[in-house]
Amino acid sequence: MNKINGNLKQRFVQPEELYSFIGKVVTLQGSVYKIRLMSGFAFVILRTKRSMVQCIYSQEFACFPLENIKEEACLILTGEVVAEERSKTGYELRMLDVEVLSSPVEESPVVINNKCMETSLETLLDFRPITLRNEKERAIFKLQEGICRGIRQFLTAQQFTEIHSPKLVYAGAEGGANIFKLDYFGGEAFLAQSPQFYKQMMVGVYERVFEIAPVYRAEKHDTSRHLNEYISVDFEMGYIEGFEDIMQMETKLLFEILEFLKTEYTFELKLLNVKLPAITEIPAIAFTEAKQLIAQEYNRAITDLEDFEPEEEKLLYELIKKKTGSEFVFVTHYPSKKRPFYAMEDQENPDVTLSFDLLFRGLEITTGGQRIHNYEEQLNKMKRRGMNPEAFESYLMIHKHGMPPHGGLGLGLERFTSRLLEQTNVRYSSLFPRDMKRLVP
């Protein structure tokens, strides 16, 4: 019998510490990202966990032939750290010896080591397992990790409890036909469109909850902003005075995410040349008012009274940016018809709900609002909509047994990332996107 202990030993030098090893011989691990042949020597860029290390190969000091290493080979490299003013890092690593742990059997079918990936979106995604090795591609998802860390740090400090709700469900929360169905041991199950029912249930337990998890929409939209599986950042909070409390919490959340990125992800922000939006205050405008404003300013006819056209979202963004400087805008008081059965209506005007969307750089990234907490009110609204309350018995338990006034929101992680990076397609911010035509890799 052996004993396994937890005394982790660092085997090699970390790339981030190299500067303090100038004049010394070190060993480190990584993949060969790029070999650039110069006259009489070569630059070898080593890809490590987060950063790239510039190495110099020359027969003057290396004890192995350059042919021994290929791009994408995995190495254990021994080299001398030498001060070098012309290097951005202030040093370079002279390659003395390598141990090749593995070597690719074929050349890459697509060039992955240029500054940017110069391929079509389709090729980028077809070869995702290797195109993600590109420096900028991987920085996108490192930054996305940072966004999630920022969210968790902030919401935890605000006393939200993180939960895990099931994605195999008995009923859809959002209604409609856009739901994936599967055989479940002879019965029928659905894939959750949102954790709506569960996060509301959990408000009765912890007052404030959040979840970061996949949700599923069987939408047949083949657009630059739809995914059929995406990561939804959901929070829900009790004891609110109005739906403005939710918007305020989101405003602060977004502010804190960006502050977190500035501190912990400067490397990726710089590499991707991210223009961070300013968030001090976010303008809020009622849906009808926004519709009219766009119609007036751009001399457009209003064709859809109950929803924005994508073009209108972009115009609203331009308009608000011009008027206020903000790249975000809350649109409030959406028509009741367009909102789910659990949305609370405005007492003064039941045709509209106490709800909002948040648009960021012209794209809806959040939907939120206050929910009905009164049992009779919820029951009546369901009946008015021709729904069968018995099918929602377990959900209605919370209304029956006491719920505080509450509300919350869902933020699409890929959409937020995508607008932050000003990408032309949300797929660029999904590690392995799922759409009508894509299930592989």
Angle subtended at Cα 85 by Cα 82 and Cα 89, rounded to the nearest 5 degrees: 75
Q: How many residues bind a second copy (CB under 8 A)?
A: 125
d(CA 212, CA 188): 25
Site for a second copy in 72-91 (CB under 8 A): 72-74, 76
Q: Applying CB under 8 A, which of residues 24, 36, 221, 252 lies at the interface with a second copy?
A: 252
DSSP-derived letter for residue 252 is: H
Which of 13, 54, 82, 167 binds a second copy (CB under 8 A)? It is 167
- CA-wise closest residue to 298 among 283, 307, 309: 309
Q: Does 121 bind a second copy (CB under 8 A)?
A: no
Angle between the N-to-C axes of helices 375-384 and 393-400, in degrees from 0 to 180, rounded to the nearest 10:
140
Please tell me the distance from the alpha carbon of residue 214 to that of residue 166, in angstroms, as a whole number.
Answer: 10
Residue 157: CB minimum distance to a second copy, A: 11
User: Contacting a second copy (CB under 8 A), which of 314, 364, 375, 389?
Assistant: 375
Site string for a second copy, 324-343 (x = CB under 8 A): x-----x-------------
Q: State which of residues 151, 169, 261, 269 lies at the interface with a second copy (CB under 8 A).
A: 169
* Site for a second copy, residues 4 to 63, rule: CB under 8 A: 4-8, 11, 29, 31, 48-50
To a second copy, the closest distance from the beta carbon of 156 in angstroms equals 7
81 vs 257 by CB, closer to a second copy: 257
Q: Contacting a second copy (CB under 8 A), which of 226, 314, 321, 434?
A: 434
How wide is the angle at C-alpha 429 spanned by C-alphas 35 and 177, nearest 5°?
Answer: 145
Which residues inside 271-290 make contact with a second copy, applying CB under 8 A? Answer: 279-285, 289
Kindly state the tokens that stand for 123: 């090729």
- What value, to the nearest 5°, has the Cα angle with vertex 426 and ends 420 and 427? 130
> Do residues 391 and 171 touch, judged by C-beta distance below 8 A?
yes
Residue 161 is inside which H or E element, if any? strand 161-162
Q: What's the token pair of residue 419? A: 């607008």
Q: Is 67 in the site for a second copy (CB under 8 A)?
A: no
How many Cα atoms are found within 13 Å in the side-chain-facing hemisphere of 89?
20
Q: Name residues contacting a second copy, limited to 181-210 (CB under 8 A).
A: 181-185, 187, 189, 191, 197-198, 201-202, 204-208
The reply on whether position 299 binds a second copy by CB under 8 A is: no
Residue in the structure block whose two tokens are 């890929």: 414
Cα–Cα–Cα angle for 435, 437, 439, nearest 5°? 70
The only residue of 58, 68, 87, 248 in contact with a second copy, by rule CB under 8 A: 248
Q: Both tokens of residue 110? A: 């697509």
Per CB under 8 A, 382 contacts a second copy: no
Window 126 to 145, contacts with a second copy (CB under 8 A):
127-130, 132-133, 138, 141-142, 144-145
Toward a second copy, which CB reaches closer, 128 or 339?
Answer: 128
Which is closer to a second copy, CB of 59 or CB of 159? 159
Our finding on whether 151 is near a second copy (CB under 8 A) is no
403 binds a second copy, rule: CB under 8 A: yes
Q: How far is CA 167 from CA 161, 162, 232, 393, in A?
A: 18, 16, 12, 19
